């Protein structure tokens, strides 16, 4: 029986995984903010170009973006599976997810962080943002892997 290779299924897997990974990433950034004595919401507020002073708006925007990038990850994985015609070992998916997360960080650093006040970076929080992206991608890779591992058609 041929395994299911629907892009939509993988996009939904990534969407849900992105939501959970975004929550984990947000919690990590809040902990860093509290430990640095800059405030729990500082890192997330700084990354929101408009309306960053509204905590609910900031949290919802962060989760929405996390879900979009999760869906993109799921779609890429599905397209790779469709082209190769096989499923990958679980650790390949996690490794790919980490590379994906690092790519998101580089993109954010080059595009998004370039519009942020440079005083933000003088607080030496760039490393924590990199760790947060890797953490996001690890959770995303593990969750998409778990959904695929329980696929009844495999």
Characterise 2 by phi-psi region: left (phi > 0), alpha (psi -120 to 50), beta (else).
beta
pTM: 0.81
| Exposure of 80 in the CB half-sphere (CA atoms within 13 A) | 14
9-49 per-position pLDDT tens digit: 788 889 999 999 999 999 998 888 888 777 777 777 766 66
Does the pLDDT at position 138 exceed 50? Answer: yes
d(C-alpha 3, C-alpha 6), whole Å:
9
Average pLDDT over residues 48-55: 68
Nearest to 88 by CA among 136, 19, 141, 130: 141
| Of the candidate ranges 30-34, 36-40, 54-58, 60-64, the one whose mean pLDDT is the lowest | 36-40
């Amino acid at each position: 029986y041929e395994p299911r290779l629907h892009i939509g299924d993988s996009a939904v897997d990534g969407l849900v995984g992105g939501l959970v990974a975004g929550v984990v990433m947000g919690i990590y950034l809040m902990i860093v903010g509290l430990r640095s004595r800059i405030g729990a919401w500082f890192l997330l507020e700084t990354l929101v170009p408009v309306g960053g002073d509204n905590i609910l708006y900031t949290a919802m925007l962060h989760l929405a973006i996390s879900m979009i990038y999760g869906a993109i990850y799921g779609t890429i994985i599905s397209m790779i599976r469709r082209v190769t015609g096989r499923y990958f070992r679980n650790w390949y998916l996690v490794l790919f997810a980490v590379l994906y997360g690092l790519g998101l960080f580089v993109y954010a650093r080059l595009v998004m962080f370039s519009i942020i006040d440079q005083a933000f970076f003088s607080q030496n929080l760039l490393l924590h943002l990199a760790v947060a992206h890797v953490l996001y991608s690890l959770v995303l890779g593990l969750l998409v892997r778990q959904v695929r591992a329980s696929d009844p058609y495999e």
